[in-house]
Homo-oligomer: A and B are copies of this chain.
Amino acid sequence: MRMGQTRPGLKDVAERAGVGVSSVSRVLSGHPDVSVKMRDRVMAAVDEIGYRPDIFARGLRGGPTMSVGLVIGDISNPLLSEISLGAESELRRAGYSLLFVNSMNDPELEAQNILLFQDRHVDGLLLSLSAEDDAGVLAALRTIQAPLVLIDRELDDSGEQLMPSAVLCDHRGGMRAAIAHLLDLGHRRIGCILGGHARFARMRRQGVEEAYAERGLPPTYNIVQGPLDADHGQAATSRLLDMRERPTALVVGGNQLLKGCLRELRSRRVVVGADLSLISCDETDLTEMHDPPIAVVRRDTHQLGRTAAGLLLRRIQDPEEGPVTTVHPTQFVPRASVVPVRETAGA
């Protein structure tokens, strides 16, 4: 029974101001050829009736929607959410809004979401994909006209058709530094728990290998690769601790894995920073507040998001711009979870 109360349109503004609709349109889209008088009249009318342009009608004509899509595997991961926060703040400064969608780390959903953003005419896409080589995702991406920025991912894009920009992290360097630190403290049997099939896992593995190779040491490390979740973290920890030549230090590649790892250590009553040295990748509440605090390979996630947004904006605003890749530093932060091997009780 309620009145239609349709929101005011361009026509209403034009009527109110006693001018033509196209003049109103020109004023609102900053067209140069408008008299000051006209601009004032129109703006006054706009304020009076509280006009807001209809984004759909604009989009229909193919104009920009001033929005950017972010496809993200798991927003509940604090790192990813910080990245998105950084991206959002940068985009907002430029007048763009960021639309999130979760893909639950499911490539099929991811592909759907990419298409969904295309339907919504986003002006660009930020991608933190769960898989770098999923055929469906790649196919969806190829239908996208808008510029793409990958966040800490490398696409397995054989055809090289989609020319994404990318913001990457120097995971290899960070891992190399972490391992080097352990080696300096006398550790030789180091267990590494890695997860996922994305770039970061490959790079971290390389970092481990390089650290040993640089010092001419035999590869007495053990890398346990698996899914990127707490269960793998726990299982891998268990497996490493059960080895005959039990590692004196563990390096864990991410917060989910860390959670599982700590769970296992607790159930075995292994004391971090005494019985065992421990390093994790990426700072979270857990690493910071743990007793003892856990050494980490850290990176500036907020900045990562901001840079990603910046690269995207550049390409949106100037379509001639080519893809750019930036690499962001990582930093090893030693903490009490790491002790020299001498103090470590053997098996």
Contacts and interface: CB of A to CB of B under 8 A. Distances in A.
Given A60-B60, A75-B75, A99-B100, A55 B263 contact: no
A222 interface: no
A115 B55 CA distance: 12
Contacts of A88: 101-102
A284 interface: yes
Contacts of A262: 289
A259 interface: yes
Contact of A52 (B54, B56, B119, B285): B119
A84 interface: yes
Nearest to A59: B56
Interface string A188-199: 000000000000
24 contacts: A52-B119, A54-B60, A55-B119, A55-B121, A56-B56, A56-B121, A57-B60, A75-B85, A76-B82, A78-B78, A81-B81, A88-B101, A88-B102, A89-B104, A97-B116, A98-B101, A100-B100, A255-B285, A262-B289, A266-B289, A266-B291, A285-B285, A289-B290, A290-B291
Interface of A: 5, 52-57, 59-60, 75-76, 78, 81-82, 84-85, 88-89, 97-102, 104, 113, 115-116, 118-121, 145, 255, 259, 262-263, 266, 284-286, 289-291
A305 to B, nearest CB: 11
A220 to B, nearest CB: 30
A38 B75 CA distance: 43
Nearest to A81: B76
A55 B118 CA distance: 10
Indicate the member of A5, A115, A120 with the most B CB atoms within 10 Å: A120
Nearest to A53: B119
Contacts of A60: 54, 56-57, 60
A99 B5 CA distance: 25
Contacts of A255: 285
Contacts of A55: 119-121
Contacts of A84: 75, 102
A97 B75 CA distance: 15
A306 to B, nearest CB: 14
Given A55-B119, A101-B97, A119-B52, A285 B259 contact: yes
A104 B302 CA distance: 14
Contacts of A102: 84-85, 88, 98
A216 to B, nearest CB: 38
A99 B115 CA distance: 14
B259 A54 contact: no
A116 B95 CA distance: 11
A82 B76 CA distance: 6
A284 B259 CA distance: 11
B289 A263 contact: yes
A75 B99 CA distance: 13
User: What 8 A-B pairs have minimum CB-CB distances, sorted nearest first?
Assistant: A100-B100, A76-B81, A56-B59, A56-B56, A56-B60, A55-B119, A99-B99, A75-B81
